[in-house]
Amino acid sequence: MDYLEKYKDWCTNEIFDEQTRTELKNITDENEIKERFYKNLEFGTAGLRGIIGAGTNRMNKYTVTQATQGLANYIKKVGAEDRGVAIAFDSRNMSIEFSRWAALCLNANGIKTYRFDTLRPTPELSFAVRHLNCIAGIVVTASHNPPEYNGYKVYWEDGAQIVPPVDKGIMSEVQAVTDFSSIKEMSLEEATAKGLYNVIGEEVDSAYISELKKLVLRQDAIDKVKKDLKIVYTPLHGTGNLPVQRILKELGFENVYVVPEQEKPDGNFPTVSYPNPEDKKAFELALNLAKKVDADIVLATDPDADRLGVYAKDTKTGEYMSYTGNMSALLIAEYELSQKKEMGKIPSNGALITTIVSSNLAGAIAKEYNLKFIEVLTGFKYIGEQIKIFEQTKSNEYLFGFEESYGCLVGTHARDKDAIIAVMALCEAAAYYKTQNLTLWDQMINIYEKYGYYKETQISITMKGIDGAERIKAILEKLRNNPPKSFGSFKVIESRDYNEGIIKNYEDGSESNTTLPKSNVLYYKLNDDAWVCVRPSGTEPKIKFYVGVKGNSMENAEKLLEEIEKDVRVLGE
């Protein structure tokens, strides 16, 4: 069936409600029709993510319940329907409806659901799956995407997002649901009466917060400066507001200022064009408030509160300095590990895990504390998978994990990146360093002085629609067929093609295997600890280039980064 036939079917078939059919009939642009129907919204390894609207390539009741019916079929296939599914949702438009439809579809298949009463952070859903001994979890969120998007992520019994072989099994079942009339439905009243639809809330919240508080290392430092440390925080209209305020209050911090214009949940994100703490524009209101109250640190979480953005005041200049995701995560890592070392709490088999596109500083810190250093593919689910392996084999003890995209995890209460624990750990670190007469920016410079000036950047180029997808494919093919020999004055000394699973060493001509799962990623190791990596985004219509260098000063590192960046930008043209 071509896209026009699918369109006509959706316009006339009474399986689809009147609102859906009317929305589609009012479209006059054939390109718009093509965009909505040229393919099915793909259920990939991260679940679903797309623009809200009617059509097979959109987020709507039918594509969400199609995915849920496939999930239900898989759960029944593995005989785990008795354990139930936890469900959370964020502040985005249609999140409430999508999460309810998903719950009722599972209920219609005889599977219990535990749905949060109101919006909750993604990491709390990860926690809830294990806390409630569920077989799976669903969170309805599009993370930091623009307002027109929503998404649907699936977690498995370990609390991490699905990985092989479970992901392949679920994807296969979802793809097998080709007839929308086969999707089971049930009313809320019937599901509730049968004990299939259950509402959760405060009990899980308290258990989650309790686990976080167990991870505090220096309550004494917090107690010393709790009246002096000033924290500005914005949830960017998302889920972080209540848990962040709760944890900071329970730890004793007295000067927490929430940006009033961004405190209330709002799926239209009226004060930001892009609700992403990686975007400096998202901090505009928070920085204005920080200047008014003379804040020490400025924090922002994304709509589902798994990513944290940070600014800290440089008292020497009076400026608020921005942190990349690598910087804030590794500042937390250095704090946690240095304190644990002082307390004699670093185990002999401790491990630090990160992704292949994160800072090489991570390896230097792991070496300093004699930890096993593990690199995984992009996606926090692979870090969660390592935690599961550690628990099963007792081979290592997880101490810290992060990815460069502003997400990290202290502790193993969750199996996904957790901005609530990141806020807690960063504020604790700020309190401790304040007792040492240091700001967080002072400490960042101390880290660079100790290990070297590692600096990274990411270049994201948006390429929307069918043409954009083809352009991204062409760029990667060109790089595979004509691999670069240099970037600026840096030589490529090794290339890794994670799709082919091959590492080529250009110094001795040898080849070896990557040992990681197949992924459409190209990595170039350069001389002097520099590197370049390219991959298509798994959640947005973008191609992403990552660059890292190591300099002998901040200025030197910035100069080296600019040099490589010029050549990298040419690749995306």
The answer on 466 and 443 residing in a single domain is no
Q: Are 532 and 547 in contact (CB under 8 A)?
A: yes
Boundary-marking domain end, from 155, 180, 200: 200
**CATH of residue 140:** 3.40.120.10
Q: Which amino acid is at 219?
A: Q
Give Cα separations from 426 to 155, 292, 331, 493 (angstroms).
Answer: 27, 22, 8, 37
Residue 43 lies in a domain: yes
pTM as predicted = 0.94
Residue 292 lies in a domain: yes
Q: Provide the residue range defining the domain that includes 271.
A: 209-378+420-451
The answer on 257 and 168 residing in a single domain is no
The answer on 355 and 229 residing in a single domain is yes
Q: Active-site positions?
A: 143
Task: Retrieve residue 429's tokens.
Answer: 């670190």
The answer on 477 and 429 residing in a single domain is no
Query: pLDDT digit of tens for each residue in the chain (573 aa)?
Result: 799 999 999 999 999 999 999 999 999 999 999 999 999 998 877 799 999 999 999 999 999 999 999 999 999 999 999 999 999 999 999 999 999 999 999 999 999 999 999 999 999 999 999 999 999 999 999 988 899 999 999 999 999 999 989 999 999 999 999 999 999 999 999 999 999 999 999 999 999 999 999 999 999 999 999 999 999 999 999 999 999 999 999 999 999 999 999 999 999 999 998 899 999 999 999 999 999 999 999 999 999 999 999 999 998 899 999 999 999 999 999 999 999 999 999 999 999 999 999 999 999 999 999 999 999 999 999 999 999 999 999 999 999 999 999 999 999 999 999 999 999 999 999 999 999 999 999 999 999 999 999 999 999 888 888 888 889 999 999 999 889 999 999 999 999 999 999 999 999 999 999 999 999 999 999 999 999 999 998 777 899 999 999 999 999 999 999 999 999 998 877
Residue 12 lies in a domain: no
Q: Are 85 and 113 in contact (CB under 8 A)?
A: yes
Task: Residue 526: count other Cβ atoms within 10 Å of its Cβ.
Answer: 22
Boundary-marking domain end, from 165, 200, 235: 200
Residue 369 lies in a domain: yes
Residue 411 lies in a domain: no
Which one-letter DSSP state was computed for residue 52?
B
The answer on 427 and 280 residing in a single domain is yes
Give Cα separations from 248 to 105, 423, 565 (angstroms).
Answer: 38, 9, 39
> How many separate domains does the chain show?
3
The answer on 310 and 180 residing in a single domain is no
The answer on 153 and 43 residing in a single domain is yes
The answer on 424 and 529 residing in a single domain is no
CB-based burial label for 478 (10 Å; 0-12, 13-18, 19+): exposed
Residue 177 lies in a domain: yes
Which one-letter DSSP state was computed for residue 42?
P
The answer on 498 and 447 residing in a single domain is no
**CATH of residue 519:** 3.30.310.50
The answer on 189 and 271 residing in a single domain is no
The answer on 508 and 522 residing in a single domain is yes
Q: Which helix (H) or strand (E) holds 319?
A: strand 319-323
Residue 238: partners with Cβ closer than 8 Å, 6 or more residues away: 90, 91, 119, 265, 275, 301, 302, 303, 304, 305
Boundary-marking domain end, from 200, 230, 254: 200
Residue 92 lies in a domain: yes
Task: Retrieve residue 162's tokens.
Answer: 């699905």
Residue 20 lies in a domain: no
The answer on 140 and 287 residing in a single domain is no
